[in-house]
Structure 1
Amino acid sequence: MSSLFELDIQNCKGVGPQRAKLFRKLGVPTVGDLLRLYPRAYEDWSQHCLIRDTTLNEVAVVKATVLRRPTEHRVKGGKLLYKTTVTDGDSDMALTFFNNKYIPTLLREGETYLFRGKVTGTFLRREMLAPEFLPQAKGLSIQPVYPATAGLSSRQIGAAVKNALAMLPEQLHDPLPDPLREKYHLCTLRYALETIHFPKTQEEIATARFRLTFEEFLVLQLGLLRIKSGRKTHNFHPIPQEFPEGFCGLLPFQLTGAQRRAIGEAVADMAGPAPMNRLIQGDVGSGKTAVAAALCWSVIQQGMQAALMAPTEILATQHYHSLKELLEPAHIAVALLTGSVKPREKKKLYSALEDGRIQLVIGTHALLSEKVAFRNLGLVITDEQHRFGVGQRSALAQKGASPHLLVMSATPIPRTLALMVYGDLDISVLDELPPGRQKIETFLISPDKRQRAFGYVQKHLDQGRQGYLICPLIEEDDSGLQSVTQYGELVKEAFPTATVGVLHGKMKPIEKEQVMEAFSRGEVQLLVSTTVVEVGVDVPNAVIMVIEDADRYGLSQLHQLRGRIGRGQYKSTCILITGAQNPDTLKRLKLFRDTSDGFQIAEADLKLRGPGDFFGQRQHGLPQLKIADMTTDMEVLRQAQRCARELLQQNALEEPAYRGLRGEIRRLFEKAGGEEVVL
């Protein structure tokens, strides 16, 4: 099987250069990838009914005989229609096909087929427009439905999969050895692959799916656990197990109960026998920075250094200012290291880090530079925001002798998904908002009310407040860029007296900084932005936000955006604009409008969109799941986690029988860019 992952997709019968290009677009460059392109759904053709028993405007499967050869009709614009009539011996039904010149040869007069499609027409005369059909003798009653792309239909993918299955070697090496399969009641790989693509019954689908889901979770868990087991188990940086009351004296506010609990848990870890490995997650504005500052203070008191890595320059700079203000009175030297720091300054910083004069450094990916060295790095904090992969966390940790690790996640992640993404990290949850955080009123409106919304924004600007206007970037290309700047022009017309700033992902870091600083200082009243702004920007005077095309965002992303307002003493408002008519989309947005609890929103987002999309632009370093579903397969995940731990404890992966499984782990993490899996 592994050799098929090295075999280009063009080696599959019926796949030429053009079709190969389309397969690559689907993320299928090899024959092996094609076999792992599982159906996204199945159509059950076994339950067919009589024509007279069909329900208008619903999909049905009908078994019927073609009464006459399809006839060709040319309509306005040169398009071709093909019409025919079929019968089930009791009633007739009219069929119409569009622009398919092969229909007359595919549907033969007098032969019987299964037709599947939406039933239209009248009570007396039923019709189907462009139904799918199969010869009655086809035998397969359950048809796979694949994630198609323009120019490559589900049917064509199915045909290619059939040819790929024929290429499987006679003696197929199963990555899961017999004893493991027997213990967990798993079918063989050959049976699973053949059956998941072309099942005969629903039971067969369940058997194949269980095997493939288990394998996928097992491979992912083993990979994550191997990365983590690469860390030393001895604590080289112990601190006294006492609450940092000295730090609390620096704060201009009281810590919440949740913050005190999280600090206590982390201090206990750092005083324990192994390095801390903890995830702190909290809702927007729950005070993660204060927790991080307390832990930095604690390690620095013991003569160690701390490093905080943020995903963007804006956020790194913001952390720098708030931590510097907090910790400098305690004579702690804080520095900022980002890509835009001048080379001469960088040189000084490198030297001060190496000899220990800088005790806390905050930065971006620039911290991963080879030139960065520490005298005694005791604590690494990554402000995750789903933007760092496992690999980058490890890279920063390797700059010290097994430092303590704290991951801060601002998007509340449902516990189920946190278990998956962060494997064996201990989790602290900040489930209490600091006093003074305002509840944000949220409204959902259609585009025809935009002018009224703009009037409401103007009212706030007249009172000296500031606001955000968020518009989605269609794609990171010129056309998308155009959309932000064009929208910016429209806004300048709508608000002729306001100072308007524009912020988008294509700007240079220094330009983004300038716009954000001008907004922070109040020189820019209205900020037109793409989601660049979702990451942690803190402007207490900003109290109103309008989000255009709100249906284009995930709920968690919307929650992050909304969290940019309501940070000061003023009442805040978020207005979502959508032209969407889809009932599911509107249900999702109404749920967001009526809920302010980030954890509830995250659970709903995960259920509605699945883990692949949950992170918006997918988290780097975490492999994409092909068949497993975090919302429905939790029991399988638990079994796979138990199995992964047992295999590692027994050192079983080193045995020859597990060579195939090691290969699967390597392949999964190579695709995701997680090069730290030691195999």
Structure 2
Amino acid sequence: MLGKTSENHITSLSEIPIQFIRGVGPKKAALFARLGVETAEDLLWHVPRRYEDRSTLRKMSECRPGEECTVVGQVADYRLIRTRRPAFTIFEASFSDSTGMLKVRWFNQPYLADLFEHGQLVMLSGTVQQGRRGGAPPEMQSPIFEIVDEDTDREPIHVGRIVPIYHGTKGVSSRLIRSLVKRVLDQHVDHLCDVVPQDIRERLGLIQFKTAMMQIHFPKGPAPRVDGGSALDSLNRRRSNAHQRLAFDELFLVELGLGMKKVGMKQRATGIVFQVGGPLTERLRQHLPFTLMDAQERVIREMMADMASPYPMNRLLQGDVGCGKTVVAAFAIVCAAESGYQSAVLAPTEILAEQHFWSLRRLLEPLGLRCALVVGGQSKAERNVLLEGIGDGSIAVTIGTHALLHDAIGFNRLGMAVVDEQHKFGVLQRALLKAKGACPDILVMTATPIPRTLALTVYGDLDVSVIDTSPPGRKPIHTIRVLESQRAKAYRLILHELREGRQGFVVYPLVEESEKMDLQAAVSGWEQLKGIFPDQSIGLIHGRMKVSEKEAVMHAFTGGEIRLLVATSVIEVGIDIPNATIMLIEHAERYGLAQLHQLRGRIGRGPESSTCILMTKGGGSPETKRRLDTMVSTNDGFVIAEEDLMMRGPGDFFGTRQWGLPELRVANLIRDVGLLEQARTEAFRLLDEDPELAHPDHAGLRAVLHRRWKGKLDLVGVS
């Protein structure tokens, strides 16, 4: 977006600090910074949060008490009243039209005495009140107003129209933002640059950029709408043509950035050409105690095709909890080992790293591949032995947490990196891991189901594979909600499963803000349960325990020595106990949907029926009820993910800031999925024609793209 400040000089609105717009200054600029508005361009992209219809003008005689009215009247009389209270003033004014009078009061706005003049024409909008005395004219208190300039054809911006309402802060009102936006548009609208190529605009029927920017701030009359309906509804639902155009621009720039990243990655990087389908891979297949599902076989074929190519694999593997992603990852690890390369497996928590270590060791060590676990708290001697094995290449697979990113860890020949639960890692960590090898292949695994179109945005630099089936023989988990007053019922269900020879979990929430109290609750609950189930072996595990202590507890639980495991939510991911058939989640109302689904996924991994009990105090907010009702009604991770997205919003769900993606100020990844698909198609079509946007016609687009991404293009993805 460009503003021409002289005939021969063009200045980007992004280079005009907000403080230099008339009416702002340094102090106000600091307040605008709280809203993320630092430049004139930021101001235009600070779009209204909602709209009010103040367009219908009424005669004063038609206004009734309690109604919202917009009127035009002449100043008949006014006075400033200074009260006995210090610094408290009342400004009273009377306005008239051909049908009647209206009395208005404003509080603590003494400057109005210098603003109004007798006979002046003023537009007012507010709630009408009954006059204080019988026969007195109706009144308004602190209405929105605008002085009508009869000598010009300037349109009102605060009343007498559909009026934009903005997110503000103390000292920055919607009125001020409207005035400043109008000032910037008046000065620069003819020079706003439409960076979306004309052929794309015509193909999709998009209105001009400058038209969209004017209409989104100051819609004229009935706002154009894609799907019909009223002007006000169109605007407030962000379905107007103006909203659609600006939303498309945002998504187009996101997809262009991701697409350029993908193109650049292939141009810059020469990957490892692995030898696929070797004898070790076949031995792994024969060693498995089960037959791979068709979905797993499909994903393995997709991975092998990547690994055999000269480009680095960058693949996202999606699959619901318990669908068999780790086994699929093992095939990539074995393929790398057959070609003489090491693998690294990065997990977000120690307990998940340990679980991967145990699972992969069972699968790989019979094939002669040495596995090692690197986590915090290991002794110096133990760490030195591991470092030596990683450095000389005798350790084929290294599993760990962010400790793997430590500078001291040097791989001999890193060829494959597996990143689990990727949504818990930031871009920098992902890039650092890739820096450990010359150009290793990357497999990202997530058990958080993400609709495919959204995955293509958040993981836009990755190819996507989905395991969309569960292992045969597994039954849906029966989920019930139980109140604290029905605790005995929950304990009867647990005891029944334990006496049948099965195992279970009792999970307590653990959050940083109240970690000590939560930990005490878990320990106290463990003590109580030992009294309630005296003939059962009950264990305790939490994040504060040493690695060796946690390993001992999990070994005992896996071996069946512990029948009931009391845990904090550290067991959210990675625990695989086929004999576990019951779970009680304490204070279930404190969890988000995704976390509840992850926890529930620890049971139901064997052939027996399983039950998840959601214990709550009762009552709770409508959002809490909606979360728990969703859990009771479905086991489908994608349905739960969609509901979670709708409730939390994409920013919170994905943590988009940690990904380095540009902020979306108009577009919404849930609401605008159709636009997202169009934007992706058009972005990749354009990059097929001009991979680096080097054509002179695309110079403006390239400049805006780099400005929006703020130099983060080199960090998005795993380059």
* Pairwise TM-score range, normalised by the shorter structure: 0.7 to 0.9
| Range moving further from structure 2, 274-283 or 237-246 | 237-246
Does residue 150 of structure 2 align to residue 133 of structure 1? Answer: no
Unaligned ranges ≥5, structure 2: 3-10, 131-137, 149-154, 226-234, 531-538
- The corresponding residue for 2:217 is 197
The CA distance in 2 between the partners of 1:314 and 1:21, in whole Å, is 45
The CA distance in 1 between the partners of 2:639 and 2:64, in whole Å, is 38
Per the alignment, in what secondary structure is the counterpart of residue 625 of structure 1?
coil
- 2:88 touches 2:108 (CA, 8 Å); kept in 1? no
In the TM superposition, what are the counterparts of 1:441-452 in structure 2 within 5 Å? 441-444=478-481, 449=483, 451-452=484-485
- The corresponding residue for 1:664 is 704
The CA distance in 1 between the partners of 2:637 and 2:88, in whole Å, is 51
Q: Deviations over 1:209-265 (max 9, x none)?
A: 343223222221121122222334766323335794421333344433322332233
In the TM superposition, what are the counterparts of 1:431-580 in structure 2 within 5 Å? 431-435=468-472, 437=474, 439-444=476-481, 449=483, 451-452=484-485, 454-455=487-488, 465-470=504-509, 481=513, 483-489=514-520, 497-498=528-529, 525-529=565-569, 534-537=572-575, 540=580, 543-550=583-590, 553=592, 555-567=593-605, 571-575=611-615, 579-580=619-620
The CA distance in 1 between the partners of 2:439 and 2:664, in whole Å, is 30
The one-letter code of the counterpart of 1:623 is P
| Range moving further from structure 2, 593-602 or 191-200 | 191-200
The alpha-carbon distance between structure 1 residues 212 and 494, as it changes in their structure 2 partners (threshold 3 A), is same
The alpha-carbon distance between structure 1 residues 438 and 177, as it changes in their structure 2 partners (threshold 3 A), is closer
- The corresponding residue for 1:225 is 259
- The corresponding residue for 1:356 is 393
- 1:458 touches 1:495 (CA, 8 Å); kept in 2? no
- The corresponding residue for 1:213 is 247
The CA distance in 1 between the partners of 2:283 and 2:636, in whole Å, is 32
Per the alignment, in what secondary structure is the counterpart of residue 265 of structure 2?
coil
Instruction: Select the residue among 330, 333, 343 that pairs with 1:306.
Output: 343
- 2:462 touches 2:717 (CA, 8 Å); kept in 1? no
Does residue 644 of structure 2 align to residue 605 of structure 1? Answer: yes
- The corresponding residue for 2:535 is none
The CA distance in 2 between the partners of 1:249 and 1:422, in whole Å, is 33
Per the alignment, in what secondary structure is the counterpart of residue 231 of structure 1?
helix
Q: Deviations over 1:348-372 (max 9, x none)?
A: 4444334321211222333344454
- The corresponding residue for 1:240 is 276
Instruction: Select the residue among 281, 289, 297 that pairs with 2:318.
Output: 281
CA positional deviation for 1:309: 1.8
- 1:218 touches 1:644 (CA, 8 Å); kept in 2? yes
The CA distance in 2 between the partners of 1:18 and 1:533, in whole Å, is 50
- 2:572 touches 2:599 (CA, 8 Å); kept in 1? yes
Per the alignment, in what secondary structure is the counterpart of residue 298 of structure 2?
helix
The one-letter code of the counterpart of 1:217 is L
Does residue 671 of structure 2 align to residue 638 of structure 1? Answer: no
The alpha-carbon distance between structure 1 residues 54 and 356, as it changes in their structure 2 partners (threshold 3 A), is farther
The one-letter code of the counterpart of 1:133 is I
Unaligned ranges ≥5, structure 1: 121-126, 474-480
CA positional deviation for 1:469: 2.2
Percentage identity across paired residues of the two chains? 37
The CA distance in 1 between the partners of 2:552 and 2:212, in whole Å, is 56
The alpha-carbon distance between structure 1 residues 397 and 492, as it changes in their structure 2 partners (threshold 3 A), is closer
The CA distance in 1 between the partners of 2:55 and 2:673, in whole Å, is 30
Per the alignment, in what secondary structure is the counterpart of residue 449 of structure 2?
coil
Per the alignment, in what secondary structure is the counterpart of residue 288 of structure 2?
coil
CA positional deviation for 1:61: 5.7
Q: Deviations over 1:19-75 (max 9, x none)?
A: 544433333344432332222332233367899999999x9665587999899999x
- 2:461 touches 2:717 (CA, 8 Å); kept in 1? no
The one-letter code of the counterpart of 2:336 is V
| Range moving further from structure 2, 218-227 or 657-666 | 657-666
The CA distance in 2 between the partners of 1:520 and 1:73, in whole Å, is 79
The CA distance in 1 between the partners of 2:493 and 2:62, in whole Å, is 60
- 2:341 touches 2:413 (CA, 8 Å); kept in 1? yes
The alpha-carbon distance between structure 1 residues 102 and 598, as it changes in their structure 2 partners (threshold 3 A), is farther
Does residue 37 of structure 2 align to residue 28 of structure 1? Answer: yes
The CA distance in 1 between the partners of 2:548 and 2:705, in whole Å, is 40
Does residue 650 of structure 2 align to residue 650 of structure 1? Answer: no
The CA distance in 1 between the partners of 2:714 and 2:446, in whole Å, is 20
Instruction: Select the residue among 395, 405, 412 that pairs with 2:449.
Output: 412
- 2:589 touches 2:628 (CA, 8 Å); kept in 1? no
- 2:162 touches 2:218 (CA, 8 Å); kept in 1? yes
Does residue 54 of structure 2 align to residue 45 of structure 1? Answer: yes
CA positional deviation for 1:92: 11
The CA distance in 2 between the partners of 1:95 and 1:512, in whole Å, is 71
- 1:543 touches 1:566 (CA, 8 Å); kept in 2? no
The one-letter code of the counterpart of 1:452 is S
The alpha-carbon distance between structure 1 residues 208 and 257, as it changes in their structure 2 partners (threshold 3 A), is same
RMSD: 5.0
The alpha-carbon distance between structure 1 residues 399 and 83, as it changes in their structure 2 partners (threshold 3 A), is same
The CA distance in 2 between the partners of 1:82 and 1:502, in whole Å, is 67
The one-letter code of the counterpart of 2:414 is L
- The corresponding residue for 1:123 is none
The one-letter code of the counterpart of 1:218 is F
- 1:469 touches 1:547 (CA, 8 Å); kept in 2? yes
Report the count of equivalent residues: 652
The alpha-carbon distance between structure 1 residues 115 and 307, as it changes in their structure 2 partners (threshold 3 A), is same
Per the alignment, in what secondary structure is the counterpart of residue 706 of structure 2?
helix
The CA distance in 1 between the partners of 2:424 and 2:462, in whole Å, is 17
The CA distance in 2 between the partners of 1:566 and 1:384, in whole Å, is 20
- 1:549 touches 1:579 (CA, 8 Å); kept in 2? no
The CA distance in 1 between the partners of 2:650 and 2:370, in whole Å, is 40
The alpha-carbon distance between structure 1 residues 586 and 161, as it changes in their structure 2 partners (threshold 3 A), is farther
Q: Deviations over 1:454-512 (max 9, x none)?
A: 55565577758431122665xxxxxxx2x3433555666677625897968xx7xx768
CA positional deviation for 1:272: 4.7
Does residue 197 of structure 2 align to residue 158 of structure 1? Answer: no
The CA distance in 2 between the partners of 1:304 and 1:371, in whole Å, is 19
- 2:377 touches 2:546 (CA, 8 Å); kept in 1? no
- 2:350 touches 2:401 (CA, 8 Å); kept in 1? yes
| Range moving further from structure 2, 333-342 or 134-143 | 134-143
CA positional deviation for 1:305: 2.0
The one-letter code of the counterpart of 2:319 is G
